[in-house]
Amino acid sequence: MVKLAADLSMLWTGLPWAERFEAAAVAGFTGVVVPFPYDNPAKDTQMALLRNGLTLVMIATPPPNYTGGARGFAAVPGAEDRFAHDLRRALRYCEALRVPALRVLAGDAIGSDAAGTLRRNLNKAVDQSPANITLLVGPEPGADAFLQTRSQVAQLVSGAGTPVLRMDWPLDGAAPGWQDDLRAHAALVSHITLTAPPQEKSPAGGFSAAALEQILEEIGYTGWVTAGYQPRGAVEKTHGWMARLL
């Protein structure tokens, strides 16, 4: 059985905060992702998790007080102090809510200076992270994002040479050979985010629930799979694929 989580920043966004947890549990999810939980007291989030029997499987850093500005500072030269501050606060939330994974956002940056900044910040983050927390990096949206591709992120994680740093693998099945790509990088992946819902049925090689189940079993994947897409229409109508994996 696959461990399924719902990204509450993407799903049931029309519901009040606390009701999203209940909706996720009713839909069959056993975990949730809350990228930016910082606007809510940790104790309120903890109560929502306990009340609905859910695990908070991942949060992100930054920002502690996001108001529409930059998302991510790990690769931004000159923003090292801001990143360090965000990291400390995020780790406190991870410990308070028993979150096993922290997604580190590189942000918008270019060039060799940005690459060096990112490596140094990640090294510091690895050193500061408790043994029970995995740091995750992945491709980020936006034309100016420093981390653009899976291969770029894979090279970064592989070069770090530590099991504390792993990939958050985005998966929508749009690219041909998506199974081969995941298979080739499986050793670096500890979280999978579905950026589109799998089809209940599809042609051979397509992005179906059956194909997803097969490749996850083949690579021996035991981590979380998160529904991190914006649904078209009612949320529940996009979750037909879940029955295959539960």
Q: Which is higher by pLDDT, 245 or 162?
A: 162
How confident is the model over 174-204, as pLDDT tens digits? 778 899 999 999 999 999 999 998 887 766 6
pLDDT in tens, 46-79: 999 999 999 999 999 976 455 556 678 999 999 9
Going through the chain in order, the beta strands assigned E by DSSP cover 3-7, 31-33, 55-61, 101-104, 134-137, 165-171, 189-194, 224-227
| The dihedral sign for the CA sequence 169, 100, 60, 231 | positive
Domains and CATH numbers, the chain: 3-245 (3.20.20.150)
- Alpha helix stretches (DSSP H) within 54-137: 80-97, 111-128
Q: Work out the pLDDT band at 242, boundaries 50, 70, 90.
A: confident
Contacts of 157 (CB under 8 A, 6+ apart): 137, 165, 166, 167, 188
Average pLDDT, the chain: 91
Indicate the burial class of 165 (C-beta count within 10 angstroms; 0-12, 13-18, 19 or more): buried
Considering the chain, what percentage of its residues have pLDDT values greater than 90?
76
C-alpha span between 4 and 192 (Å, rounded): 10
Using CA atoms, how far apart are residues 172 and 227, in angstroms rounded to an integer? 10
